[in-house]
Amino acid sequence: MADELVVEIYRITRAYPREEMYGLVSQMRRAAVSVPANIVEGCGRAGLNEYVHFLNIARASLRELGYYLDLSRRLGYLPDGPARELEGKYNETASVLSGLISSLKNLKP
């Protein structure tokens, strides 16, 4: 789901104003890519604590992206239809990520 969110962010931000390419667009794409990248990196780590640490970084990046989505909507860059679609992907990603973090924390001794 996090990967689908990245693809959608890239697709949607292509229509943003050109002057936002190195501002908001860059920040949104960076935050979006950071979510699955940190999940994958954490999975490749040796210990459970490190994995949870990277999942928390992914969750923080997702929250950052949430702010950019809200800002985009308020600035008029993100129409209601695509905003609702992204919100659904955002919420599903947040839910899965939070569930994974909780389940892994319960495995800790």
Do 86 and 12 form a contact (C-beta atoms < 8 A)?
A: yes
CATH number of the domain to which 19 belongs: 1.20.1440.60
**Domains of the chain: total:** 1
What percentage of the chain's residues is helix, strand, coil (to nearest 5)?
85, 0, 15
- What is the Cα 109 distance to its own chain's centre? 29
Q: What pLDDT digit, counting tens, does each position of 52-88 carry? A: 999 999 999 999 999 999 999 999 999 999 999 999 9
Tally of helices (H runs) and strands (E runs) in the chain: 4, 0
Q: What pLDDT digit, counting tens, does each position of 30-43 carry? A: 999 999 999 999 99
Provide the domain limits for residue 8: 2-107
- List the one residue out of 50, 32, 30, 28 whose CA is nearest residue 41: 50
Q: In this prediction, what percent of the chain has a pLDDT beyond 90?
A: 90
Q: What pLDDT digit, counting tens, does each position of 82-105 carry? A: 999 999 999 999 999 999 999 998
